[in-house]
Amino acid sequence: MSPTKELSAIIFDIQRCSLSDGPGIRTDIFFKGCPLRCDWCHNPESQAASAVLAYNPQLCRHCGACVQACPNGAHTISATNATSGTVGVMLHAIDRTKCTGIGECVKVCCYGALELVGELYTVDELAKEIQIDLPYYAIGEGGGITYTGGEPMLQVEFIEACIDRFPGVHMCVETSGYAPSESFLKILPKIDLFLFDYKLTDVAKHEYYCGVGNELILQNLHLLHEQGADIVLRLPIIPTVNDDEGHFRAVASLMRRYPRIQYAEIMPFHSLGEGKLERFGLSPRMHQYPVPTPQEVEGWRTRLKALGVLDIRIS
């Protein structure tokens, strides 16, 4: 059996005709598994490396089919006690510690309340999915494939094998930078553009809000620049966390230090990830963050320009 056929990875989404993750029309491949735990993460389902069960209580009819189907007893359905003049409410609880992600409950849920997020793909299977999109890449400025997640740099061998299936196609990796430096060196010759996230300047704050420090991230940014990689510096800006003068000055310093960075891209905080937390049985965020207004976002760009960052885009 060839090495390509043996390789596999868990992917939780394939977005076609994406216009925001690299030049042109792109296919975004979302890998599961991330070493960070950013408090504002808008793809919290990407954090675990394995498939996770999603539950939509609005679609559940409490039929009990999942209770019967689950071999591990992860599902329970019960009724609250009715008080005088009221009707008891049915409750569906999922014990996530018992869920092994085999998906037997999903198979019997005819109302679509349950979904297993994350599917195992071989390189052959993913290549067939991507093949459908190839004609679109030639439109406009030229598109390609973007590997994102989660943290795609945890899947370097799989991505390398996939890239080899599409010679001449533009390849992007969106990364937190938190991966072994050897992995970046290994894949560097095959990647046309790195979309590199820079979240927080202060090491302690980075560890507090993201679960890890930023030393390795900065080390890999330096490595990529010194190796001649094409880089876009992506800036997730979270009100009350990193919209301060110190962080903006650090961004400006990085842009001066690494002049081959193509441009900086502001990625304003949005709250779309909030609704996912309950669906995936995840803990609420440590903090609640305000969604910035367009005027505030434009103000961030103005402040960065005043510090010498001239090419700034807003996603």
Pair (78, 165) in one structural domain: no
Residues 258-314 pLDDT 10s? 999 999 999 999 988 887 888 898 888 878 899 999 999 999 999 999 999 999 999
Pair (240, 176) in one structural domain: yes
- B/e letters for 282-310, b = 16+ CB within 10 Å, e = fewer, are beebeeebeebeeeebeebbebbeebebe
Pair (162, 216) in one structural domain: yes
Range of the domain at 299: 3-50+118-314
What total of structural domains would you count in the chain? 2
For the residues of 11-44, what is the DSSP string, one character each?
A: EEEEEEEESSSSSSSEEEEEE---S---TT-S-G
Pair (210, 100) in one structural domain: no
| pLDDT of the residue at 282 | 86
pLDDT of residue 34 exceeding 90, the answer is yes
Q: Which two tokens stand for residue 16?
A: 């076609």
| pLDDT of the residue at 85 | 53
pLDDT of residue 90 exceeding 90, the answer is no
Pair (72, 186) in one structural domain: no
Amino acid at 224: L
∠ Cα 92 94 97 (to 5°): 165
Share of the chain above pLDDT 70, in %: 96
Look up the CATH number of the domain holding residue 106. 3.30.70
pLDDT of residue 195 exceeding 80, the answer is yes
291: which residues sit within 8 A by CB, 6+ positions away? 239, 268, 269, 270, 271
Q: Which two tokens stand for residue 90?
A: 């049915």
Look up the CATH number of the domain holding residue 162. 3.20.20.70
Pair (229, 136) in one structural domain: yes
Domain boundary among 111, 139, 154: 111
Pair (107, 210) in one structural domain: no
Q: Which two tokens stand for residue 41?
A: 């993460």
Pair (12, 145) in one structural domain: yes
- B/e letters for 224-261, b = 16+ CB within 10 Å, e = fewer, are bbeeebebbbbbbbbbebbbeeebbebbbebbeebeeb
Query: pTM for this one?
Result: 0.91
